[in-house]
Structure 1
Amino acid sequence: MKFKPHYIYFFCLALIVTLIFYSGYVPASAQNFSKRDAAYWPFATNSPWNMPIGSKAKFEPVSSPQWTTNALKYGFIINSTDYTIPVYIATYSDPIRKVYRTDNKTQGYVAFQQRVPDSAKPSPGGDAHLAIIDQTHSYVTEMLRGKRRSDGNLEAPFPNKIDLRGTGIFKDYHGSCAYGGSCIAGLIRKGEIKTGINHALRISITTAVLNKNAPAGKPYVWPANTADDGDGRSYKGTGNVYMGSLLAIPPNVNIEEIASKGTPAYNLAKALQDYGAYVVDRGHLNLYAEPTAKDEVKTLMYNSSIPKYLQVVVNNSPSSVGGGGKRRRPLAPPV
């Protein structure tokens, strides 16, 4: 008995599908999300916050003499309770509140009206950050030195509304962080440290390391558009780390030699190798997690085994995000 070619094709296809079903194997392309919720995984596919490190990335060791003696002294500090960015997601049943702008020129000006959960409150600490995502998961309102008024409304000197489908970065200051872009960008969200982080992280660096004299004569490099105090006057460092610099673990480092696979430390190190971390603020050596993830990241506090591998990606730019070349991870799906 002879089988026609198209019968053989369908027989083989059915066999492959059966084997996949019973083995539990899912092809890599099928494992990728077809679409994502911007409230939990924000910003466009081409955003530097979602762009994996490329094969053409050029790494240089941190050249500041204060990197080892100062920045690495205590390891990573994970801000998850104070001086972090609490994120609240509004629903259609939340009350509509006013967000007042209270800088010196616009006292009492209503910047926005939007639904705000009654539980929403700024982070403890002088920065008092607060981020509220709207009920359609389309934009986030970010506040620095935010306050909740007795009538339930909110106020902040410069509240900003940021499109979650955009890049999260801007040509001019637009956000609530020193680097001039979105403050929820790079934030470790609840569940990510367990399942894996699919984006670049936000990091702050001590002023003893930050150099205010960037190559273009500005106190920052892309994707930053400004610096602390506008001119980075507090930065005392020399070397190759600037506001906006991309730090990452080089590809020749075996992450499994740093941490056991599947552990929080491994997932953090893997994210730093595949995506890196952008300098967004001055601080110690801080990474940031939303408060709801505090229990998940507590074992990473003062971790000194990971940050010592960080180097500067010196060819990160708008035309070669993450250094360019073949990406270490698949691109983020559309929002």
Structure 2
Amino acid sequence: MAKIIIIEDEASIRAALRDILEYEGYEVDEAENGLVGIEMLVTDYYDVALCNLNMPKMHGFDVLFHAHEAGVSTQIIVITAVGTVENAIESSRLGAFDFIVKPPDLSRLLKVTADAVERYKRAVANRLAGKKIYRIGEFVGESPSMQAIRACIEQASQQRAPVLISGPSGAGKGMVAQQIHYKIRNARRPLITVNCAAIPDELLESELFGHEKGAFPGAASRRIGKIEQAEGGTLFLDEIGRISPAVQEKLMHAIDQQTFTRIGSKKELKLNTRIISSTEKDLVSEVEAGNFRADLYDHLREIAIHLPPLSSHREDIPLLIDKFIQDICLDYNVPDKEIEPAALTYLTLLLWEANTRGLRTALERLIIMCEQVITLDEAKLYA
């Protein structure tokens, strides 16, 4: 029996959809908002989700984004009263299976749902076709360094202490953060990511702490910051070594006092968020150069995990290739592809300066361009 979750803030709509789907023989669960919905998606297994867009606590687009980030295989159908072209395009970009406007046509709703169930089943079948099955996002490798990292992930997932993940670009720092967050037993709290390197210094403080209406020119309404959005869950500060001294000071104060304020407000809010940070920079050198606060560095690295470059654990590359082929073929809904031994050896010996991210990107090109078996010539051409 296929299992479906309805993520919808209006109880009457949830009840109506549930009656329709249960009559068709589906097992149905409900989530009254987007935050509960994503928590259920990452802690249980569903073939299909029917997800509204404009909901309290978490917008439907955020549900799509976080489901993808967590490696959820559930086929998500957006069902909304705001049937604009822009919403349809954005839903598709974020990985939605289909887009249905309220009130839905019953025959179309059931047809799209049945198609989504079949797609989910095919994707699972593809991954079960004679291969070792990996979970999307699983940290793969049997080298001593990878075994040590998995042990650190397990330890960190049992605690609430801040974690600092260091390592070169593309080594998988974001994946480690996800693993720590989602390995917490019965974790039903959000994981909010902030790419500190991608946000201008003058906007990052507002992005993190939020602001009140009128706090500065252009602040037309209140903004809830990422720290508040991660309430009770995890805030992942990617590339924290890039933040300005002013933001460092405010973040240090928040961690030290376990309180923070929105820009333009005097009301103190409780900091109830676990902080996981990552850095490509050598923060010890940054502290010595006066670019990063020593006290903040000490607070952030109560648990420290270092990821080595891929070239230092080359023996893991065949396992990574196997995993990435499975993941990418699932993403594209195609049968798993094979790889010639000579092509596997060739890829294992490449430098991979972009580390695991570069390896995955190369395999995505190969899967798109090659037939059922990836040959040595094709590996040389497209990798």
Structure with more of its chain in helix, by fraction: 2
Fold conserved between structures, TM > 0.5 = no
